Amino acid sequence: MGKNHDDDRDYLPLFETKSSKNCTQFRLFVGTMLVGICSIFVYRLWYMPLPTKEEGVVLIIRIIRLWAWIGVFLSELWFTLYWFVKIVVRWNPVYRHTFKDRLTLKYGEKDLPGVDIFVCTADPKAEPPLMVVNTVLSVMAYNYPPEKLSVYLSDDGASDLTFYALLEASKFSKEWLPFCNKFRVEPRSPEAYFTKAPQPLDDDHRYHWASIKRLYEDMKIRIESATKAGQISEAIRKENKGFLEWDFVSSRRDHQTIIQILIDGRNPKAVDIDEHPLPTLVYLAREKRPKYHHNFKAGAMNSLIRVSAQISDAPIILNVDCDMYSNYSESVRDAMCFFLDEKKGDEIAFVQFPQAFENLTENDIYSSSLRVIMETMHDDPKVELRGYDTNGGPCYIGTGCFHRRESLSGKTYNEASKVLLDWKRKNEDDEGISAEALEETSKVLASCTYEENTRWGKEMGVMYGCLVEDILTGLMIQCRGWRSVYYNPKRKAFLGAAPTTLQQALVQHKRWGEGNLQIFFSRYCPLKHGYKKIPLGLRLSYLVSLLWSLNCLASLYYVIMPSLCLLKGISLFPQVSNIWAVPFLYVFFGNRAYSLGELLMCGGTCREWLNYQRVWLFKRTTSYFFSFLDFVLRLLGFTDAPFIITAKVVDDDVSERYERELIEFGTTSPMFTILTTLSLLYAWGFIWGLKRLVFTEQSLVLNPFTLQTVLCGLLVFINLPIYQAIFIRKDKGTLPNSVIYQSIMLTLVTCSIVHY
């Protein structure tokens, strides 16, 4: 464009993008895998057991064998298809590096754009107010000019307890922020800091540390006792007129909009104890009425977008879940490096940080770290979000993401004004408006009726009507011509709480699976909707998660059928001595070895890998199966599944078992019944397989059942914790008896049908 050489010479990039060096081994591996897979297909077609002229029982067995064979073949075709999209994602990953020091060199503190930070909470029981305010305090304390930060807490639970906690936090921040700045405290969530960081050594620091700690502990006690009591005492209510609003709240589903500007950053009096300005802090509970659908978190986000536009109108928006505190105070600057880069910054709509967890056990029993999706090591060659990045930008995963306000509110890349630095704080124009007046004018923006007959939720803001609104929103932004960036610094920017029971982990994935499937079958399916808008590679990358649920069919078939066929004496795999056994062994063990290598390179352990394989199997046979069922039922108009918030509080003994890495069952759930039934089925199949191997003249290598028995044996091995829960464990977190009895009945019925 109009740039001449001199401009180019002055251009100092704020970030760099490197592609990975050692892709060659990976590509070789993919090549050999492809040969293996093709050989399997040839084998399946060549040796298809077509029925011959026999009659009676033999014929029936042959027909069953044919169908079993075709099913296995179709499953293998599916796995190959899915494997292919995963390869697309991993083909040419890139990684990013930022130059934060150049940022201030170039722009100076004064010219940095403002950031509006959205924290969303929905339920004071599942998400304790103390945790919420820790997150709020951690983002208020970013190392960024405080007059440019505004923090908005959206409380969909409309709870005065949360409001009270926020009020306490606003007072505490006056001490906490100067302390953080003075001693360069990390992390800046007080709870995490006081429990994790070592005590300071020098006297001055220690003196301050002790006094701040005492203040924090006092606040903690006040918030926790209010939370425990479940209500706010009269004395406290009198202190702040904000509580008067709750006189009109009849329930969390029926109330007016509540907006309280707790700290008005424009006000010269809003300063901390060192007379430095404070970030703006706003509490928002949008209006809810039973007659209007509130669209869950997407609705809350859209209200926040409008209200914040009225109050601070910063060009960059950060949104975090209330359990994800900031673990690094420089992250805002990292994100700015992408947005403010002169050459490549314009087209970037959002910068996605990975979701990292702090409550993981050593070997991550529920495999929640999604380590391979998020990945921790810097130049590991093949990881999913990184691969998305190469293909046109990662998806938006709903938390830990910096957005450009323009792209989030529906502009296409071309119409958006390109220069972020023109930004001026709104309050410079409306200095005169009081906080009360701003609250009043913003109320209407968060009302139930505001969005009627508007494009909100359809083209503007976060999309409605989808269980994974974030993925869909990110996709729509990319289809409007924007790019996105995945940034995964070594030191994690945000830390959240991982699920601590198996049920939570599975239910979370059920929702994700279903939401992704909705997108796949909607008119926004990236294959169709993204045509000519986003690159083919990105359209295919989206399929990795969009097809999660559909994996259940092939997976269930592939684990159930070989076991059942062992009972019936039907062989589905070649003998070990047969040359055709080689591709099966290579593809199966090659892929396992590869995933083990990938995880070890990302910093995992072998046990973790085993857990990962187990949870992977559990998810495919239960979470995804149920999300598929729910999706079908919903299509037929049967259910209206509610949005389930994953609880962030757990009992002490549950946590204790979690620490010991014992899988927590504890409740009755159809998912557990399926898991238990399946594991009994594998065990039964394995026993019959062994019988067929031992009581026969044939040697192992010639026996047609060897591979099948090995497969069952591996399934049994991976399910050991379930047998342990059935037969050995006696603690409260073990499988309930009702689940065990149901499963035994189901297994008996299935096996006797098969044996018959």
Ligand X SMILES: *[C@@H]1O[C@H](CO)[C@@H](O)[C@H](O)[C@H]1NC(C)=O
Task: Note the residues at the interface with ligand X (CB under 6 A).
Answer: 186-187, 327, 356, 359, 491-492, 497, 500, 648, 650, 655
* Cα–Cα distances in angstroms (integers) from residue 98 to residues 9, 141, 208, 339, 666, in the given order: 19, 21, 33, 11, 46
Choosing from 116, 321, 334, 470, which is the catalytic residue?
470
Beta strands in 219-267 (DSSP E): 258-263
Q: Which amino acid is at 653?
A: D
Element (H, E) at 19: strand 15-19
Nearest to 555 by CA among 47, 42, 82: 82
Residue among 486 and 625 whose Cβ is closer to ligand X: 486
Find out whether 367 and 509 touch, Cβ atoms under 8 Å: no
Identify whether 155 is a catalytic site residue: no
Q: State the nearest-atom distance from the C-beta of 488 to ligand X, in Å.
A: 10
**How many residues in the chain?**
756
Q: State the nearest-atom distance from the C-beta of 739 to ligand X, in Å.
A: 24
Tell me the pairing of strands 356-357 and 258-263. Answer: unpaired
Residues 6+ apart with CB under 8 A from 473: 298, 396, 408, 461, 462, 463
Question: What is the spatial distance between Cα 484 and Cα 487, in angstroms, rounded to a whole number?
Answer: 10
Residue among 603 and 670 whose Cβ is closer to ligand X: 603
Q: Token pair of 641, please? A: 């599944």
Question: What is the spatial distance between Cα 560 and Cα 569, in angstroms, rounded to a whole number?
Answer: 14
Residue among 92 and 135 whose Cβ is closer to ligand X: 135
Report the chain's terminal Cα–Cα distance, integer Å: 77
Q: State the nearest-atom distance from the C-beta of 360 to ligand X, in Å.
A: 9
φ/ψ bin of 295: left (φ > 0), alpha (ψ from -120 to 50), beta (otherwise): left
Q: State the nearest-atom distance from the C-beta of 648 to ligand X, in Å.
A: 5
Q: State the nearest-atom distance from the C-beta of 666 to ligand X, in Å.
A: 15
Residue among 177 and 559 whose Cβ is closer to ligand X: 177
- What angle (nearest 5°) sits at the alpha carbon of residue 148, between those of residues 145 and 152? 120
Residue among 288 and 648 whose Cβ is closer to ligand X: 648
Element (H, E) at 119: strand 115-121
Residue among 200 and 537 whose Cβ is closer to ligand X: 200
Identify whether 429 is a catalytic site residue: no
Q: Which amino acid is at 483?
A: R
Residue among 357 and 705 whose Cβ is closer to ligand X: 357
Find out whether 475 and 539 touch, Cβ atoms under 8 Å: no
Question: What is the spatial distance between Cα 446 and Cα 441, in angstroms, rounded to a whole number?
Answer: 10
Choosing from 156, 272, 389, 630, which is the catalytic residue?
156
Find out whether 257 and 446 touch, Cβ atoms under 8 Å: yes
Q: State the nearest-atom distance from the C-beta of 119 to ligand X, in Å.
A: 17
Residues labelled catalytic: 156, 470
